[in-house]
Amino acid sequence: MAGTVAAYVSVGTEPDSRGLIFALWKRGTYVLLPVLLPDGDLDWASYEGPDSLVPGPRGLLQPGEQRRGVTAITSADLVIVPALAVDPAGHRLGRGGGSYDRALARVGAAVLTIALLYDDELVRQVPTGEHDRPVRAVARPGEGISRLG
């Protein structure tokens, strides 16, 4: 029922997010996707269908639409993020750039943050640092959505 969803376009071996993004957009949800900035932070722009995606840095696809700013994520009712692994406390292991930790730091405490994982990527523990921001749930193909923390 979220009116605005911040999501991402999967890359490499990550769980495929393209069908989810397209389905959300088709049902009328306003979908924000990240635009990677040179300093590693994330700007955000609207998804306007598959043809609105353009090649970005590091082999990413990102929206070619007008950028909304790094704080645009604060308008999201739901935030979907990538992760290589997540533990039961919600600590996520990313690719090491800190981009999503910066973005998650801007998200309000009442907003559901969820990582898309494969079934075996919910693990006992992941290494954490003081800058790391946990997610509140995970979505896995065999288990569905599980709340954490």
| Residue 76 exposure: Cα atoms within 13 Å on the Cβ side | 31
**What is the tens place of the pLDDT at every residue in 43-57?**
999 999 999 999 999
**Right CATH for 4-147 from 3.60.15.10, 3.10.520.10, 3.40.50.10420, 1.20.1260.10:** 3.40.50.10420
SS3 readout for 35-57 = EECCCCCEEEEECCCHHHEEECH
* Domain positions in the chain: 4-147
DSSP letter at 135?
A: -
pLDDT of residue 130: 84
Position 1 pLDDT exceeds 70: no
What's this model's pTM, rounded to 2 decimal places? 0.94
Q: How many whole angstroms separate alpha carbon 80 and alpha carbon 114?
A: 5
- Give the chain's mean pLDDT: 94
Q: What is the pLDDT of residue 15?
A: 95
- Residue 88: how many CB atoms within 10 A of its CB? 13
Of residues 146 and 58, more confidence is placed in 146
Judge whether residue 140 has pLDDT over 80.
yes
Mean pLDDT of 50-65: 94
Give the per-residue pLDDT at 110: 92
Structure token pair of residue 83: 């992760």
Of all residues in the chain, the percent with pLDDT exceeding 70 is: 99
**Residues 23, 49 contacting (CB under 8 angstroms):** no
Position 82: which residue type? P
Give the integer Cα–Cα distance in Å for 49 and 145: 25
Question: Which residue bears the tokens 């639409």?
Answer: 65
Which of 7-11, 64-68, 74-78, 91-95 has the least mean pLDDT?
A: 91-95
Contact 74, 108 (CB under 8 A): yes
Instruction: Say how far apart CA 39 and CA 27 lie, in whole Å.
Output: 34
* Per-residue model confidence as pLDDT tens digits over 77-129: 999 999 999 999 999 998 878 999 999 999 999 999 999 999 999 999 999 98
